[in-house]
Chain A
């Protein structure tokens, strides 16, 4: 299945937008992986802006940047949001509340705890009626969700917003689900060979034993290995370097190969 990339957004620890991330990915600028407080996304309504969690900010900053780059109107795009951990900060807070003697849960934390909260805020920000789905599949979230996004773009014959993000879970739960660094990436994907950045996705039985992250600078390779969204970093690196690249990621009993080519639309 062939899809094309029409816009890219990329935010995370030491990666503040696609323009700043490119030299870091190429190895021209060292990666400073210090966590920064993310700015609130401009498109969020003022009353939501203050309260938006870091995970919501991460997802929305990526999505905003990808839409700007593609020059498309955010409200026109069906969306596929994908995250393994969801909002671990909120989940941990709720689990702590439930374990406390009172056992009561904050209402706003509860409604923000749903896995589709970032997608919901994205649609609210743009007053969009487009469909949005929120997916998660642990360490295989990227292959599962990218394949689904490509299938939707083809089946509905429309460009889609693909937004992938993950951040560490604090507290007790974080001791059994270790995630390193916050990272997110959004892509505007169109079905077919619409742009010069073309991806061929294929699913094959069995495992590919090659390490997909060996070409990354050390600290980014670490993020790629320990943050499910970070698995997309080698693809972003190849785009930043203008190189063709093929990476294979485990997906259940299969592996999915993402082959990037720079070609004439």
Chain B
């Protein structure tokens, strides 16, 4: 494929606000998951972002006020992302910048609170209830487009936990067909009772901080995150003269479906392996060129085993891999953008993060799972995301020099 480049990127999660804080969290191996006090009674541990409750959106955009857009706004205001978009806007024109967002639950927390405030079941919500500014899937891209003053095509991808990974692919399609010159790609998913209770009802929430790939892993810790990347054609404009921060090249992508089950991955890993193979083929890279894989690695017995099978079928033991959800928690639809930014840190620092909290790799696993950080020569890295509905997406990034 024609290489696409990421000229700016940012992310916010329990690991910290922005790339530098995220990097420090990884390098200093900080513990960030905390007991679930978001609801009562709580379930297990969560990755919660500090300060969301106090963050205010600009007054003119008040109708978009909800936890999800606050989280998004906090990310937009970090790492000079808005300035980078302003540069691109000045070059391409605001109508040539697309916004492609991934989210699974958007601002549903606002509706949860509105339901709780009713006196009776089925009672009408207040007529001014801002459904379209909060819970509706369009809320996030509309907010981001308004905040960044861009007017190109808008899109919300809602592919469960693969949403913001898949959003890169959809943005690549818009770029490839000339519908835009650059795209703001990313997403946000924020804590809400729907997901905290929903995953608990499926028995997928661990009572302990999640331990991906560990023999004793017992489920996920839910987290929240938002992140954005400015994706554009490699030759779209003179390279902006900003400090070479967290820039990347998007070399390949692949998507597939399991066609197996709504909430359990295909244990053979064949659907996930297909997404990985497609990404390698599109990047024209052999498997051994990949230096690190940031796994989906949710910490459930089924996901991690499936993912190990998929990776081992292609890479054997040749490629070090880890899940960083022991730091951030499983940030659901935002995990793809957050972990893509972690891939950027890995490339820049030549640093391979490990599976936080995990102590003994499941002996059935065949991949090279990192239990301690490693320093090594890194060129190309892969980021995998899988979701309910059997949706799989895989991205390959390289350095942008």
| Residues in A lying within 8 Å of B, measured CB to CB | 1, 75, 84, 86, 91, 94-99, 103-107, 110-117, 119-121, 123-124, 126-138, 140, 144-145, 147-148, 150-152, 154-156, 171-173, 175-177, 203, 205, 251-254
- Once A120-B390, A129-B257, A129-B259 are accepted as A-B contacts, the answer to whether A175 and B270 lie under 8 Å apart by CB is no
Q: Which of B1-59 contact A (CB under 8 A)?
A: 39
Number of interface residues of B (CB under 8 A): 70
Q: A137-B138, A176-B126, A205-B95 are in contact. List 16 more A-B contacts (CB 8 A).
A: A94-B194, A96-B121, A104-B201, A105-B194, A107-B201, A107-B263, A110-B201, A116-B159, A124-B390, A129-B257, A129-B258, A133-B159, A133-B170, A144-B153, A150-B177, A203-B179
A110 near B172: Cβ-Cβ < 8 Å:
no
Q: Which residues of B contact A95 (CB under 8 A)?
A: 108, 111-112, 115, 194
A110 near B262: Cβ-Cβ < 8 Å:
no
B340 interfacial by beta-carbon distance below 8 Å: no
Q: Which of A105, A112, A114, A252 interacts with B104 by CB under 8 Å?
A: A114
A134 near B157: Cβ-Cβ < 8 Å:
yes
* Chain B residue at minimal CB-CB distance from A145: B155
A114 near B387: Cβ-Cβ < 8 Å:
yes
In the complex, A253→B154 CA distance in Å?
10
Shortest Cβ distance from residue A122 to the other chain B in the assembled complex, whole angstroms: 9
B261 interfacial by beta-carbon distance below 8 Å: yes
Residue among B129, B141, B390 with max Cβ neighbours from chain A (10 Å): B390
Shortest Cβ distance from residue B235 to the other chain A in the assembled complex, whole angstroms: 18
Q: Which residues of B contact A251 (CB under 8 A)?
A: 153-154
In the complex, A145→B174 CA distance in Å?
11
B147 interfacial by beta-carbon distance below 8 Å: no
Q: Which residues of A contact B198 (CB under 8 A)?
A: 94, 105, 107, 110-111, 113
In the complex, A126→B239 CA distance in Å?
46
In the complex, A150→B174 CA distance in Å?
9
Shortest Cβ distance from residue B229 to the other chain A in the assembled complex, whole angstroms: 18
B193 near A98: Cβ-Cβ < 8 Å:
yes
In the complex, A154→B188 CA distance in Å?
29
B288 interfacial by beta-carbon distance below 8 Å: no
Q: Which of B132-179 contact A (CB under 8 A)?
A: 132, 136-138, 141-142, 145, 151, 153-160, 166, 169-170, 172-174, 176-177, 179
Q: Which residues of A contact B151 (CB under 8 A)?
A: 205, 252-254
B260 interfacial by beta-carbon distance below 8 Å: yes
By Cβ-Cβ distance, the 5 closest A-B pairs, closest first, are: A120-B389, A110-B198, A131-B255, A115-B158, A136-B137
Q: Which residues of A contact B125 (CB under 8 A)?
A: 172-173, 175-176
Q: Which residues of B contact A131 (CB under 8 A)?
A: 169, 255-257, 275, 391
| Residues in B lying within 8 Å of A, measured CB to CB | 39, 95, 104, 108, 111-112, 114-116, 118, 121-127, 129, 131-132, 136-138, 141-142, 145, 151, 153-160, 166, 169-170, 172-174, 176-177, 179, 193-194, 197-199, 201-203, 255-263, 270-271, 274-275, 387-391
A252 near B145: Cβ-Cβ < 8 Å:
yes
B116 near A99: Cβ-Cβ < 8 Å:
yes
B160 near A114: Cβ-Cβ < 8 Å:
yes
- Once A103-B193, A133-B166, A137-B137 are accepted as A-B contacts, the answer to whether A112 and B158 lie under 8 Å apart by CB is no
* Chain B residue at minimal CB-CB distance from A79: B257
A1 near B257: Cβ-Cβ < 8 Å:
no
A-B contact pairs, 6 of them (CB 8 A): A103-B197, A120-B257, A129-B270, A138-B136, A140-B154, A155-B177
Q: Which residues of A contact B131 (CB under 8 A)?
A: 173, 176-177
A132 near B112: Cβ-Cβ < 8 Å:
no
Q: Which of A137, A148, A172 interacts with B170 by CB under 8 Å?
A: A148
Q: Which of A103, A105, A171 interacts with B122 by CB under 8 Å?
A: A171
Q: Which residues of B contact A171 (CB under 8 A)?
A: 121-122
A99 near B95: Cβ-Cβ < 8 Å:
no
Q: Which residues of A contact B145 (CB under 8 A)?
A: 252
B197 near A98: Cβ-Cβ < 8 Å:
yes
Shortest Cβ distance from residue B142 to the other chain A in the assembled complex, whole angstroms: 8
B179 near A151: Cβ-Cβ < 8 Å:
yes
Shortest Cβ distance from residue B395 to the other chain A in the assembled complex, whole angstroms: 13
In the complex, A147→B142 CA distance in Å?
17
B104 near A115: Cβ-Cβ < 8 Å:
yes
Q: Which of B138, B177, B197 interacts with A1 by CB under 8 Å?
A: B177
